[in-house]
Amino acid sequence: MQEQVTDRPIRAGVIGLGWAGEQHVAGYTKIPGVELVAIAGLEEERGRQLTATYNIPHYFTDYEDLLARDDIDAVSVAVPNYLHAPIGIATLRAGKHLLCEKPLALNGDEAKLMVDAAEAADRVIQVAFNRRQRGDAVVLKRYIDEGGLGRIYYAKAYWVRRSGIPGLGSWFTSKQMAGGGPLIDLGVHVLDLAMWLLGEPPVRSVTASTYAELGPRGRGGSPGAGKTGSVAAYEVEDLATSFIRLEGGTTLLLEASWATYSSAGDDFGVTLFGTEGGAEIDVKNYGEEQTLRIFTDVGGIPADVTPRVRRGEGHLGVVREFISTIRSGEEPLRSGLEGLRRARIIDACYASALAGRELEVQEDSRG
């Protein structure tokens, strides 16, 4: 079992200087008992800006220089998807705890290698599923665990955009670099949220379809997209749908899109039908107010309840949980195994869409 770090600051580093990387940087700087030692990334101007803004002692253009330091305990990896496994495994083999941006890896096989590396190194592996940290999600999870919905038998999870391809011609639209389109980018977030709310039931099978109708014609790009890395062709889907069968008879409908001719803006959520009540989280354009509704009976009459929930912590909450896990030494692989399960489901969805039929899902025996 990994050592418990209780009597000294935890020293951290961040690899990746984009928006997500800065969220990790900001998180570490706000948590007592944590020292942010270094950051690494290829964009030198951006690196100098972050070191000045957050008073970070060291900046490297080569992530291996960061990993070579013996005064770093934990590392966040916030780089393009195809680099998650190689940099994440190098981090763990260097004896550092790993907090990786979603998805854990390009596919389930790479994700398993990462979890295996964490187990061999006896280090924490965690995935930045920051939607769990929303105030509405935290309240709904508590309500479900208290039995408020009874047995949940049907769920829907979605993240849909009208025009939201994050960079036409960027690494995001390369199958080799991204692993897929909105399913692995956005769908993994709401898939994780739904599975977490449902209590991690084993997945039995999936039936999926994918579509690439707008992106290949240069339509549906996000006006504010700033993703880089020139790619000639659009190689991924712009819409994915999947029907997922869970153990015990519960089913989950998953939908993810970057671009659709629809009423969507940038909207995501989860809907749950239970034997004692129902609930939905419905978020429009990243809103935080009145996003959670509970459906129940009051005096035998149908009633809708809109709880007043606090704003969540987002990436700060993710980093806080990561640090707490390192300090406690408890369940170091849990989040990594959940990330592996999500990767296996997404693999099965892409394979089902290609085959045009329902497919079983491979589960990790440790999960």
Side-chain half-sphere CA neighbours of 24 within 13 A: 32
| pLDDT for the residue 171 | 92
Residues 223 and 260 placed together within one structural domain of the fold: yes
Above 80 in pLDDT, residue 101?
Answer: yes
For the ranges 90-104, 195-209, 223-237, the lowest mean pLDDT is seen at 223-237
Residues 107 and 144 placed together within one structural domain of the fold: no
Tokens of 296: 């129940």
Residues 93 and 166 placed together within one structural domain of the fold: no
Is 345 a domain residue? no
| pLDDT for the residue 225 | 64
Q: What are phi and psi of 84, to 5 degrees?
A: -60, -50
For the ranges 123-137, 222-236, 320-334, the lowest mean pLDDT is seen at 222-236
Give residue 150's domain range.
135-311
Residues 25 and 164 placed together within one structural domain of the fold: no
Q: What separation, in Å, do the N-terminal and C-terminal C-alpha atoms of the chain show?
A: 18
pLDDT band at 19 (very low <50, low <70, confident <90, very high): very high
Share of the chain above pLDDT 70, in %: 95
Residues 163 and 200 placed together within one structural domain of the fold: yes
Residues 250 and 158 placed together within one structural domain of the fold: yes
Report, as an integer, the average pLDDT of 149-159.
Answer: 98
Is 207 a domain residue? yes
Above 80 in pLDDT, residue 361?
Answer: yes
**Residue range 26-78, pLDDT digits in tens:** 999 999 999 999 999 999 999 999 999 999 999 999 999 999 999 999 999 99
pLDDT band at 8 (very low <50, low <70, confident <90, very high): confident
Report, as an integer, the average pLDDT of 288-315.
Answer: 94
Above 90 in pLDDT, residue 215?
Answer: yes
Report, as an integer, the average pLDDT of 276-287.
Answer: 96
Residues 212 and 245 placed together within one structural domain of the fold: yes
Question: Which residue has better confidence, 183 or 363?
Answer: 183
Last residue of one domain, picked from the residues 260, 277, 311: 311
pLDDT band at 298 (very low <50, low <70, confident <90, very high): very high
> Do 126 and 325 form a contact (C-beta atoms < 8 A)?
yes
Looking at residue 116, which CATH number applies to its domain?
3.40.50.720
Question: What's the CA dihedral at 64, 65, 66, 67 to 10 degrees?
Answer: 50
What DSSP string describes 61-98?
A: SSHHHHHT-TT--EEEE-S-GGGHHHHHHHHHHTT-EE
| pLDDT for the residue 20 | 96
Mean pLDDT over all residues of the chain? 94
Is 215 a domain residue? yes
Above 70 in pLDDT, residue 5?
Answer: no
**Residue range 84-100, pLDDT digits in tens:** 999 999 999 999 999 99
Residues 139 and 219 placed together within one structural domain of the fold: yes
Dist. CA 4–CA 160, nearest whole Å: 42
Residues 144 and 121 placed together within one structural domain of the fold: no
> Do 215 and 155 form a contact (C-beta atoms < 8 A)?
no
pLDDT band at 323 (very low <50, low <70, confident <90, very high): very high
Residues 202 and 75 placed together within one structural domain of the fold: no
Residues 97 and 139 placed together within one structural domain of the fold: no
| pLDDT for the residue 187 | 98
Report, as an integer, the average pLDDT of 224-243.
Answer: 78
Looking at residue 204, which CATH number applies to its domain?
3.30.360.10
Above 90 in pLDDT, residue 362?
Answer: no
- What total of structural domains would you count in the chain? 2
| pLDDT for the residue 226 | 56
DSSP alpha helices (H): ranges in the chain?
A: 19-30, 44-54, 63-67, 84-93, 108-121, 135-145, 175-178, 182, 188-198, 315-328, 334-355
pLDDT band at 169 (very low <50, low <70, confident <90, very high): confident
Report, as an integer, the average pLDDT of 222-234.
Answer: 65
Above 80 in pLDDT, residue 6?
Answer: no
**Residue range 244-272, pLDDT digits in tens:** 999 999 999 999 999 999 999 999 999 99
